[in-house]
């Protein structure tokens, strides 16, 4: 067989297999068929627009409230397999990173795509550590909050206020500027969180100690009192570092979708991060860890769990810390967090609410209502018990989620900015409101 024939046959075979990577859609209204290519297991929603009955029509859209089945981007940062309970940052299993890495190293991995060399990690750690201080004016800003202000409200406002200090942050397409803002955001989140906490206690702010680790310095700024040098407890320091690793990123969750959406207008990264913190604050998202504690306190005793579960099944309340849009099996982070919990309880004493949490989990894992809906403990179910045992007030729990997620948010924001396919996020709608109507003067209104 000559080479020309072979080439033709190969082309035909390629075309045939390529045509198999497609949908054939028949519009029954017009009888017309359309070939829609499939790539990476998805079709482009814009390829639906050609489907019209009348050429003057806008064309077909897909309707997907809450984006249950819509990929908003192509990403290489985090992979989740919800059915298999798999979570990987840049290909590395979360179990390995939680066991062998540190939060700052994991943050570098998320932001740069590769684990750092020793020199890179040294530079990254030095740069973040030397951006932990905040402008003294911000203290006046924090002092303006009421003593019982929720720390998440303080974080949202103060991180947004950082945009007024760093005008160079608007140069979002300048890599050096993005690098500097990244050092500042990753470095200052713990400082602002700790200052917010100290403000609510009416205690003096504790400045960063650059000789301590990232989690160690955070504990220093939170809990140091009269000692000249704060020495973080190594068990708590390690537990916090592991929890920070587990919370660092989680692909296109609500707050990440927010920073991508807000960032797509090309606003500075501080304003975009403040928006992400606001999204995370919600009780269905990062605020769930706070709600879990309120729920366990409301249940009160192990004996009252069955009664509470009855209310959940009647649809009166949710079992906070359970369920997930993606995980339809055990959240792999919850399994690791449970292990960390026992390490902390060993040191700080068992949290009395643990028994209630374990009973909720035991019942839920056996009960048809939860099994049918594939509701398992998620990342927020056990974290609050640990934080409470470490001495954090319940209102600080979502703040402990926002701090580590900052590196994931910035990595996702940067990926969006540099993606040539991305532009300002502006979804369509299906309008079912009034057709045009005349203005009604006041004296003729019903
Ligand atoms: C995080 O997306 C992420 O990746 C988020 C996150 C991250 O790292 O960024 O993992 C962090 O936000 C974890 C989730 C924390 N939130 C909670 O624990 C709040 C409680 N959970 C739920 O509100 C709910 O499970 C969500 C919000 C987490 C997921 O909601 P979905 O996917 O929209 O599911 P749904 O609300 O449509 O529920 C499906 C069914 C419903 O029952 P039916 O209407 O079919 O009868 O399951 C029920 C829901 O009522 N259900 C629950 C439940 N969660 C869902 N019933 C009781 N208790 C719950 N917790």
Taking only the tens place, the pLDDT of each residue in 66-85 is: 999 999 999 999 999 999 99
- Catalytic residue positions, numbered: 285, 324, 380
- Residue at 151 is within a domain: yes
Cβ of 284 below 6 Å from ligand 1: yes
**In whole numbers, what is the pLDDT of the chain averaged over residues?**
95
Cβ of 400 below 6 Å from ligand 1: no
The ligand 1 atom at the shortest distance from the C-alpha of residue 322 is 60
Q: Using CA positions, which residue lies closest to atom 21 of ligand 1?
A: 323
The pLDDT assigned to 6 comes to 66
Residue 383 has pLDDT above 80, yes or no: yes
Cβ atoms 65, 74 nearer than 8 A: no
- Residue at 352 is within a domain: no
Taking only the tens place, the pLDDT of each residue in 333-351 is: 999 999 999 999 999 999 9
User: How many angstroms is it from 284 CA to the middle of ligand 1?
Assistant: 7
- Residue at 10 is within a domain: no
User: How many angstroms is it from 322 CA to the middle of ligand 1?
Assistant: 7
Which are the contacts of 24, defined by CB distance < 8 A and separation ≥ 6? 33, 34, 35, 36
Choice from 81, 88, 246, 324 to test ligand 1 binding pocket (greatest atom count within 8 A of CB): 324
- Residue at 34 is within a domain: no
- Residue at 130 is within a domain: yes
Cβ of 378 below 6 Å from ligand 1: yes
Q: Using CA positions, which residue lies closest to atom 2 of ligand 1?
A: 253
The pLDDT assigned to 128 comes to 98
CATH code at position 217: 1.10.580.10
Which are the contacts of 393, defined by CB distance < 8 A and separation ≥ 6? 197, 200
Residue 17 has pLDDT above 70, yes or no: no
- Residue at 129 is within a domain: yes
Cβ of 321 below 6 Å from ligand 1: yes
Domain containing 140: what range?
A: 89-232+252-280
Q: How many domains does the chain have?
A: 1
- Residue at 256 is within a domain: yes
- Report the C-alpha gap between 252 and 74 in whole angstroms: 10
Residue % of the chain over a pLDDT of 90: 93
User: How many angstroms is it from 288 CA to the middle of ligand 1?
Assistant: 10
Region 173-201: mean pLDDT is 98
Cβ of 325 below 6 Å from ligand 1: yes
Region 84-102: mean pLDDT is 97
DSSP string, 306-373: HHHHHHHHTTSS--TTB--SS-SS--HHHHHHHHHHHHHHHHH---TTHHHHHHHHHHHHH-HHHHHT
- Residue at 313 is within a domain: no
Cβ of 389 below 6 Å from ligand 1: no
The pLDDT assigned to 5 comes to 67
Q: How confident is the model at residue 416 (pLDDT cuts 50, 70, 90)?
A: very high
Q: How confident is the model at residue 10 (pLDDT cuts 50, 70, 90)?
A: low
Q: How confident is the model at residue 328 (pLDDT cuts 50, 70, 90)?
A: confident
Choice from 323, 329, 332 to test ligand 1 binding pocket (greatest atom count within 8 A of CB): 323
User: How many angstroms is it from 213 CA to the middle of ligand 1?
Assistant: 35
């Amino acid at each position: 067989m000559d080479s020309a024939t072979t080439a033709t046959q190969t082309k035909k075979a390629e075309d045939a297999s390529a045509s198999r990577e497609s949908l054939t859609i028949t519009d029954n209204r017009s009888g017309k068929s359309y070939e829609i290519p499939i790539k990476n297991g998805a079709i482009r929603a814009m390829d639906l627009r050609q489907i019209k009955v009348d050429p003057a029509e806008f064309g077909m859209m897909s309707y997907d409230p809450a984006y249950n089945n819509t990929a908003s981007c192509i990403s290489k940062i985090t992979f989740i397999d919800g059915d298999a309970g798999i979570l990987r940052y840049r290909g590395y299993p979360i179990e390995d990173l939680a066991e062998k890495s540190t939060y700052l190293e994991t943050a570098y991995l998320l932001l740069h795509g590769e684990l750092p060399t020793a020199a890179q990690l040294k530079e990254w750690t030095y740069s973040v550590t030397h951006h932990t201080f905040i402008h003294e004016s911000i203290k006046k800003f924090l002092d303006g909050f009421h003593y019982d202000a929720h720390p998440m409200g303080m974080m949202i406002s103060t991180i947004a206020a950082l945009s007024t200090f760093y005008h160079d942050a608007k140069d979002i397409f300048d890599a050096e500027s993005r690098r500097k803002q990244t050092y500042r955001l990753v470095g200052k989140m713990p400082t602002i969180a700790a200052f917010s906490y100290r403000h609510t206690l009416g205690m003096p702010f504790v400045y960063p100690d650059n000789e301590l680790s990232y989690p160690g310095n955070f504990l220093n700024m939170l809990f140091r009192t009269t000692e000249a040098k704060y020495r973080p407890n190594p068990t708590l320091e390690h537990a916090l570092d592991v929890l920070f690793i587990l919370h660092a990123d989680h692909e296109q969750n609500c707050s990440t979708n927010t920073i991508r959406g807000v960032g797509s207008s090309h606003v500075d990264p501080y304003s975009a991060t403040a928006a992400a913190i606001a999204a995370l604050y919600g009780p269905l998202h990062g605020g769930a860890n706070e709600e879990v504690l309120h729920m366990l306190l409301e249940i009160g005793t192990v004996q009252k769990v069955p009664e509470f579960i009855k209310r959940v099944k009647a649809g009166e309340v949710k079992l906070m810390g359970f369920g997930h849009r993606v995980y339809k099996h055990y959240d792999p982070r919850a399994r690791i967090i449970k292990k960390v919990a026992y390490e902390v309880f060993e040191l700080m004493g068992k949290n009395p609410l643990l028994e209630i949490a374990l009973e909720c989990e035991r019942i839920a894992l056996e009960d048809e209502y939860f099994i049918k809906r594939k509701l398992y403990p998620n990342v927020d179910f056990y974290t609050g018990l640990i934080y409470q045992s470490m001495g954090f007030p319940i209102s600080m729990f979502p703040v402990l989620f926002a701090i580590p997620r900052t590196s994931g948010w910035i990595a996702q924001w940067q990926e969006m900015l540099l993606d040539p396919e991305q532009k300002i996020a502006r979804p369509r709608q299906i309008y079912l409101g009034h057709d045009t109507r005349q203005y009604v003067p006041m004296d003729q209104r019903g």
